Structure 1
Amino acid sequence: MNQGPVVHQRWLQAIKEFNDTSAYEELYRYCWKDLYQHAARRILDRQDVEDILQELFVQFWERRHTIDIQMNLPAYLKGMLKYKIIDFFNSTKAKDKLLDHWSKHIFDYVQEHPEDLKTYLALEKLLEEELEVMPHNMRQALLLKWEHLSIREIATRMGLSEQTVKNNLTEASKRLRKAILGYQHVQNGSFSLLLVFIIDELAK
């Protein structure tokens, strides 16, 4: 975003007062790259990032008559993006991606032990259910951690202290371990322990 506040205000005024699509296209062109890079540092899938930004700019256009012409445009758009990213991490789509992430870690094991496929499918369902019942902040901290954000980045994004984030991650890990080890008493123990190890690594 290399344009100055005066140019931003000119765009915003044209968009707000005259529904100027040319000004909107200029704003879009100059802001897209910076927003894309910001989102891509947090979300790994390129298509997901593009979808989020598309939705953001559509929403911006829909709200054009209520925008403040004097506002800090880059800060405003990044604020919108922040909540889009949080919504993404809370979505079923993001959870499905994380379950896919687990699948990649244990793919070799299942290949070598096809008799454990039934156990894997049951544990996958168990983990998904555990995510669903976690408190909001705990689940969100865990999802952000699995997207490779640092404790400090998670704390900043969620508006929490770093210690609170750490506490949430620790408790989330304990809950997942308890669920998996509880299942171990009924099914294959070595496979369950492998999954516990993965959970612990992802929560660090």
Structure 2
Amino acid sequence: MEMTMKLLRTRLQSRLALHKQFASLEHGVVPVSSECQHLFPTKIVSRLVRWAAIPFEDYAELPYTKDVVEAGLAEDTHLYYMALIERGTAKLQVAVVLNPGYSALPPIFSLCLNWKGERTGSNDDNIRAMESEVNVCYKELWGPKPGYQLLTNQLQRLCMVLDVYLETEPHDTTVEGPKEFPQEKMCLRLVRGPMRLKPFKFNYPQGFFSHR
């Protein structure tokens, strides 16, 4: 009985923390606490412009969430959200599944970048690497225990890696005028290996980006 009450209290506290975060996200604000500032560079240009709940049916119909659904990681009891992160002409659609066991069980993110075509983890290795930054490396983003800031830290990391993705793209010389996304992030190497992977890991306090 004592264990059951403890689990219920933890889930209630988690839900209350999430609702506070949702209130900020719905206004396009990604809250980052002072304890987590070191996880991100001072300047991030990409920004959250939309956050909204969606039904499971809408989530399951998205072509880029297929792997999550087929792996059994998306169930009726979970919560589903769509976010939109923008920078210039680039629009990153973010489908999020939130397990009732948050934050012990992390949210799962699926990405689709609309910029010069549609880019997802199935046709772009770097989009898959961006998904890995939040889905696989989530323990770096827990923040102070019990880790209720995980969701907003994951979203801020997505804003950060979208900046890196766009700034390290080669400039199209056939287009006149300045580059749309000038490189502002300091990177040791722009790409690595035959998959041309980008440097998504932020190194604090040096302030540069490197490959994992």
What's the TM-score, normalizing by structure 2? 0.28
Q: Which has the larger radius of gyration?
A: 1
Higher helix share: 1
What's the TM-score, normalizing by structure 1? 0.28
